[in-house]
Structure 1
Amino acid sequence: MYFFEWGSWEAALEPDADKNEDARTRRLRKKITPYENEQAEEEAAAKLSVSETPKSRGPVYAFDNRILEIRSGMFEEKRGLISILSATVIYIIANCFAGIISGATWTIEHFHSKGTFASEYLFISAWFTLLALPTTWFYLKYGLRFTRLEMFTSRHLLIRFNRTTQQVYLHRPPHCGGIVVLPWEGVASSGSANKYAIADGVGVPLALHWSARVTGTLHPELAWVGKSANHQGEIRDEWEFIRRFMDEGPEGLPRPRITSHFPWPWQAFTPQFEGVTHYFRNASKLIKVGLVLISPAFLIIGTGHWLSLLLCWKPRWPKIIRQAGMPGKPVPPLTTLADYPPHIQQRLRENAHLWTAHPGQRPEKKPRGPSKRRSTDTKPASRAKP
């Protein structure tokens, strides 16, 4: 599911006038906006070793002395929810058009054989037409944008690390931000230190982040790498594997299992259990029984996931990225604002202030003074008795 990436891209392009933020949201945004020294510290932490057991849990699609390619994206295990709904709507629309064709065919055959029009066949054709046209219009206008998050698009989001060019490539559909070329220098990671961890690594993949001053497109980039983790240790191992590959080379790293791009059924069902195996082992018997009882839901979502994979196509990199790092081949230029259409450039310029870091260091919080308490020494004068 590309819902997170689609939502992030839409948020980056949303006009400022459409942002209906209350005062609390604005204060929260101001509070979480980083300072320049915090960004520098996070980037410096990404250069340090954090694990003695580097390991990639994949899925890895390519690994050699030049490139490392891993599945990217958030909520991969949820992929299939939208596919089931989309398939239902498409099935209804297809049946409506089948009814139109059948009614028209029966009308023509009856006219040729009897010489008159059959009103019941005309009614069937007209009825299915009244159902099909508005349903199709509504789906194409409002529903297709959600279907494309799982179907009729690239089979997977990809992230490719090229140690020869010291670049990182993100492969996303155009409606999720498109293909982006980023520098390795300046990357920040949720696995570089515990204070940058997200949810302590439980149920989320490794997160890589490039600030707006690094990307050159006036907005930050965020990529989720690999499988959802069971704990922060798996996140650190994944990040250390990537860091060593880019900074030191593949020597000494355990060779990961290479995954095929072909949509095998197990590629749709196994993601349903990413990030929950550790929880399942340590859960109580009652929780385990509950998980077994809801297992049919995992089967349904996995079936929808497989359907989405079958109705998508293998992602393909541009030629300049496929050949990047080979002898005599050009180095892909980093993505800049000029690579986007004019209307996208305008939106990114208008929203650039949302991603700009505060200069300098975050000011220290002023200690709160002692609370004003009512003095017990001064008591109200009692009324004199008459």
Structure 2
Amino acid sequence: MFLIEWGFWKMATESSASRNAAYAQRSLPDERSDSNVSDVGLDISFKSASEHPHTRGPIYAFNETYFDMRCGGSEEKRGLITLMTLGGVAPTIYAWAQLTHGFLVFNISALPEFNIPIILLNTLALLIGAGLTYLYLRYGFHLTRLELFTSRHLLIRFNRKTQQVHLHRPTYCGGIVTFPWRETGSTSTYQEDDPLSLGTRLGLVWHPSRTGLPHMEMAFIGKQGQGGSELRDEWEFIRRYMEEGPHAVPRPRLSTQLPSPIQAFSAQFEGLGRFFRKSSWLFKVALLFVWPAFVIIGTGHWLSLLLCWRPRWPKVIREAGLPGKPVPPVTTLSDYPPAIQARLLANADRWQLKPGKRPAKKPRKPRRSKAQAKPAAPNEDCV
């Protein structure tokens, strides 16, 4: 499911009219970035973050030049849109096809005589089918393609020879882009953020102040973490590969890019291993009553993989790092169509940085207990 990436790109390319209308309707102030200049510097750090470099994958390719890893911020939810599409659109198409076929057979059987009412009903059925198809293509297909009839996975490629990072996404999620490795920020560098890392993925960030683009790019890679230590281990794996080479990290196990049912059903349990082990026996028993839901969603996930195609990198990225081959150009604003450029520039204020450092948080006052807050009783000796 590419819902997060699609929503983020839609926000970056929102038209001025729709943006102003949305804020006017909700009576909210116009949106601005809440980041300071110093915050961007904190996100870029290539110091060692862990002593145990490790990746939980899935990794699709790994060699001396590059390695490919899965992207996607909501892979565990994949299958819901597929079930809604196949459960809603497919029965409608089937019923319309059966109705139209019946009218056609009845009309043909009456030849050479023509039955005007049947001809009108057949024409009406065709118009209804055409109308439903138009409504679906106009208002529903942009949601369906987040899981169906699109790339099977979002990919990220780390090329050690060219020191570049490539993102492979559909055009409606931002398209294929290239960034320098040294402009890559990570969301899992500091141990103080560990309490917020449970159930999240490693996030990589490319801020406009470093890329020169009018919008920010983000990528959520790998599987959900069971704690900040796992995400730091994954970032350290990437950092050591890019900085030192493949010999500095343990060789990962490669995953298939075929539509594997194992990947479809296991995605629902990403990040839950540690929580499941520490949970009570009552919670484990309760899971037995909801296992049909996991089976249904997993089946939808697998159908989604079956109805998508394997992503393929452009030739210039496939050959990058080979002797005598050109280095892929870094993505710039001119790489986008003129209409997209105008919309990106119109929303550039979302990522503007405030000067200076973020003000320090004021220490919280200790909370007083009810006994302390209760006023003292008057002294009887003073009466």
Q: What TM-score, normalized to structure 2?
A: 0.88
How far the C-alpha of 1:194 sits from its partner, in A, is: 2.7
Q: Which runs of 5+ in 2 are unaligned?
A: 365-383
How far the C-alpha of 1:311 sits from its partner, in A, is: 0.8
What secondary structure does 2:246 align onto?
Answer: coil
Determine the structure 2 residue equivalent to 1:37: 38
Determine the structure 1 residue equivalent to 2:310: 314
CA separation of 1:24 and 1:242: change in aligned 2, threshold 3 A: farther
Q: Is the 8 A contact 1:61 1:259 kept in 2?
A: yes
CA–CA separation in structure 2 for the residues paired with 1:325 and 1:167: 10
What secondary structure does 1:262 align onto?
Answer: coil
Determine the structure 1 residue equivalent to 2:228: 232
1:209 and 2:208 aligned? no
What secondary structure does 1:214 align onto?
Answer: helix
1:188 and 2:192 aligned? no
How far the C-alpha of 1:229 sits from its partner, in A, is: 1.1
Determine the structure 1 residue equivalent to 2:322: 326
1:12 and 2:25 aligned? no
Determine the structure 1 residue equivalent to 2:149: 152
CA–CA separation in structure 1 for the residues paired with 2:210 and 2:83: 39
- Residues 327-365 of structure 1: CA distance to partner in whole angstroms, max 9, x if unpaired? 110000000000001011011111112102122323456
Q: Is the 8 A contact 1:215 1:221 kept in 2?
A: no
What secondary structure does 1:56 align onto?
Answer: coil
Aligned pairs (5 A) from 1:101-250: 101-111=101-111, 115-117=112-114, 122=119, 125-126=122-123, 128-129=125-126, 131-195=128-192, 200-250=196-246
1:305 and 2:301 aligned? yes
Determine the structure 1 residue equivalent to 2:287: 291
Of the structure 1 ranges 290-299 and 322-331, higher mean CA displacement relative to structure 2 is found in 290-299
Q: Is the 8 A contact 1:60 1:257 kept in 2?
A: yes
How far the C-alpha of 1:290 sits from its partner, in A, is: 2.1
Q: Is the 8 A contact 1:73 1:224 kept in 2?
A: yes
Q: Which runs of 5+ in 1 are unaligned?
A: 369-386
Q: CA RMSD in A?
A: 2.4
What secondary structure does 2:183 align onto?
Answer: coil
Determine the structure 1 residue equivalent to 2:97: 97
What secondary structure does 1:275 align onto?
Answer: coil
Q: Is the 8 A contact 1:219 1:352 kept in 2?
A: yes
What secondary structure does 1:68 align onto?
Answer: strand
CA separation of 1:190 and 1:365: change in aligned 2, threshold 3 A: closer
Of the structure 1 ranges 282-291 and 272-281, higher mean CA displacement relative to structure 2 is found in 282-291
CA–CA separation in structure 1 for the residues paired with 2:76 and 2:131: 33
1:345 and 2:341 aligned? yes
How far the C-alpha of 1:163 sits from its partner, in A, is: 0.8
The residue type paired with residue 37 of structure 2 is E
CA–CA separation in structure 1 for the residues paired with 2:304 and 2:117: 39
Determine the structure 2 residue equivalent to 1:50: 49
Select 2:265's aligned residue among 263, 269, 274. Answer: 269
CA–CA separation in structure 1 for the residues paired with 2:303 and 2:29: 41
Q: Percent identity?
A: 47
Determine the structure 2 residue equivalent to 1:73: 72
Of the structure 1 ranges 14-23 and 171-180, higher mean CA displacement relative to structure 2 is found in 14-23
CA–CA separation in structure 2 for the residues paired with 1:364 and 1:275: 33
Q: Is the 8 A contact 2:65 2:160 kept in 1?
A: yes
Determine the structure 1 residue equivalent to 2:381: none
- Residues 300-324 of structure 1: CA distance to partner in whole angstroms, max 9, x if unpaired? 1111111111111100000000001
CA–CA separation in structure 2 for the residues paired with 1:182 and 1:25: 34
What secondary structure does 2:61 align onto?
Answer: strand
How far the C-alpha of 1:168 sits from its partner, in A, is: 0.3
